[in-house]
Chains A and B, each alone.
Chain A
Amino acid sequence: MRTTTVVIGAGQAGLAMSWWLARRSIDHVVLERGEVANSWKTERWDSLTLLTPNWQSRLPGYGYEGGDPDGFRTMPETIGFIQGYAEMMSAPVRTHTRVGSVRCHGDGYEVVTNRGNWLCETVVLATGACNTPVVPAVADAVPSAIATLTPMGYRNPDQIEEGGVLVVGASASGVQIAEEIQRSGRPVTLAVGEHVRVPRVYRGKDIKWWMDASGVLDQRYDEVDDVVRARNVPSLQLAGYADRRTIDLNSLTGIGAKLVGRLAGIKDGKAQFSGSLRNVCALADLKMNRLLDTIDDWSREHGRDDEVAPPHRFETTAVEESPPLLLDLTRGRIKTIIWATGFRPDFSWLDVPVLDRKGSIRHDGGVVEAPGLYLLGMPFLRRRKSSLIDGVGDDARDLSAHLASYLRERTVTGVTA
């Protein structure tokens, strides 16, 4: 089979790209291993909601039209939203089509799938940043009596045994799961490394409203000092609950969870925690305050101060005098460990030599080193908002423009396969 562009993945990124390709009259298909919005459907826990308010899911030609713009979508609502997008534009999605390989073919590509192979000039990788949970190497030393889970396998507290739970990681997944498990009556110990603390609501407005309005989310990848670092910043400590409550380390200790430092090792059945807890909390508090300073400056300079509540600051993160450095995992106090230690993309099927020594794709704002290959839907790909549903549309517009001009140049120079 032939087409001009193969888009891999029918989530928000692949569909936004499809919308732009259709606009530019570029013949394409969108290959999807499952069904539209597959990861949202199969790899998320029950209570998860989007962390961005409803109004902020703006895709090219599509947006929120309901009556609760400040609410947060549940997973079924998110899936419905993305499926609605695919239907609205009649996207050429081929579901249940799993890609086994993408390889060079002439000066284009061959995409091998379980439902036949495609030859094409260009390929867009829109499979997302969160395909595989990252589990640290120390997991091998966990005593066998302890059950372990990742956020992809976690559904709800009923699924885990009564008793203590060690949640490793305090970013968006870790803090939400820790809160829900602690509330279920299972005492949680939360291992905290570097994290990003933000309030859900500041001066009466959602933090995402501030970040959107003040231009923080539009900051470009070629404007920041250190894009590698920006791309590796952990996810914001946020939850999207109807009461718009802030979830942070103070709220977790307030309901009885215990904080320890980053999990540094497991030796002789004892978990060892770093003594750096105080500093990672100080770093997060200071960083949050810098964001709030930016917001306050923007509000003042743009004459918004009359519409919103006055500036204020939040309590610094409370850390006990001597947080424990060791936790005996053999005494039966901990029954379950949840590795909320992040995710990584899976490009094991990409047989084009574009991976660096750490397994990441070499690209410039989504334009991959190999001509005609594009990457979409990754953290800070082109903008701070790149990994948000709300951010992928602008990236898809930019990259589809690049892709279109690449196709034109090929035609002009006569290198078309």
Chain B
Amino acid sequence: MTTTTIDKPVNNGVNVEALFGAREALTKAPEAAQFKWRASCEWVKGTQSRSTIDSFYGLGAEQKHKTRFSFDSDHPEVFASEDSGATPVEIVLAGLAGCLTAGIAAVAQARDVQLRSVKATLEAGMDIRGILGADPDVRNGFDGIKVTYKIDADASPDDIKAIVAQSQKRSAVYDIITNPTNVTVEVK
């Protein structure tokens, strides 16, 4: 009788070879690394608006998402609104969570760590006297964001922490939130 042990390969569903291949190719061709991300938005009524995302530019050409994504944002009833969509600041939290979690999957894959479950909860504090213009010393935005991960994976607690730390280091949304960005708003 023969026994064979088959190590089940780590699979978090992230094609890391493709990502490393892209990194090498784009180091040699930095023009192709220039991307433009886009969204369009139309006011519906009251504080509700609908954002649509379908195209972006990258790898030297126009690109299209497989489907056109659309989501509504609004404000909750305690703001005297109709609550027909998530609040824009909540969508920012969703963006951060999505970015960090994708990074965790990719870094874990690159480090041969099988993930079984990854769950994040996010909470951001805000003093709304800022947006209401009630106190000029209060900023409009978050006074801080707390992200808490619960991760079940084949790795030591420190290795899991290192994956989460590396994901922050490589995250676009984390960078956008933690560092200043010039914003130009024009009316045509």
Binding site for B on A (CB under 8 A): 194, 261, 264-265, 267, 272, 274-276, 279, 282-283, 286-287, 289-290, 322, 357
Do B165 and A283 have beta carbons less than 8 Å apart?
Answer: yes
| B contact residues around A286 at 8 Å (CB) | 158, 161-162, 165
Q: Which residue of A lies closest to B156 (CB)?
A: A293
14 example contacts (A-B, Cβ-Cβ < 8 A) are as follows A194-B169, A264-B179, A265-B180, A272-B179, A274-B178, A276-B175, A276-B179, A279-B168, A279-B174, A282-B165, A283-B165, A283-B166, A286-B162, A290-B158
Q: How far is the CB of B90 from the nearest CB of chain A, in Å?
A: 19
Given the known interface contacts A264-B180, A274-B178, A274-B179, the answer about A279 and B165 at a Cβ–Cβ threshold of 8 Å is yes
| A contact residues around B144 at 8 Å (CB) | 322
**Number of A-B contacts defined by CB within 8 Å:** 41
Secondary structure of the B contact surface, majority rule: helix
Q: How far is the CB of B52 from the nearest CB of chain A, in Å?
A: 30
Q: How far is the CB of A160 from the nearest CB of chain B, in Å?
A: 28
- Number of chain B interface residues as a range: 10 to 19
| A contact residues around B169 at 8 Å (CB) | 194, 279, 283
Do A276 and B168 have beta carbons less than 8 Å apart?
Answer: yes
Q: Which residue of A lies closest to B27 (CB)?
A: A228
| B contact residues around A287 at 8 Å (CB) | 162
Do A267 and B143 have beta carbons less than 8 Å apart?
Answer: no
| Best-surrounded residue of B165, B168, B177 (most CB of chain A within 10 A) | B165
The listed residue (A276, A283, A289) touching B178 by CB distance below 8 A is A276
| A contact residues around B158 at 8 Å (CB) | 286, 289-290
The listed residue (B143, B161, B162, B177) touching A322 by CB distance below 8 A is B143
Considering only residues 135-182 of chain B, those with a C-beta below 8 Å from chain A are 143-144, 158, 161-162, 165-166, 168-169, 174-175, 177-180
Do A261 and B178 have beta carbons less than 8 Å apart?
Answer: yes
Do A275 and B177 have beta carbons less than 8 Å apart?
Answer: yes
Q: Which residue of B lies closest to A280 (CB)?
A: B169
| B contact residues around A274 at 8 Å (CB) | 178-179
In the complex, what distance in Å separates the CA atom of A286 from the CA atom of B168? 14
In the complex, what distance in Å separates the CA atom of A290 from the CA atom of B158? 9
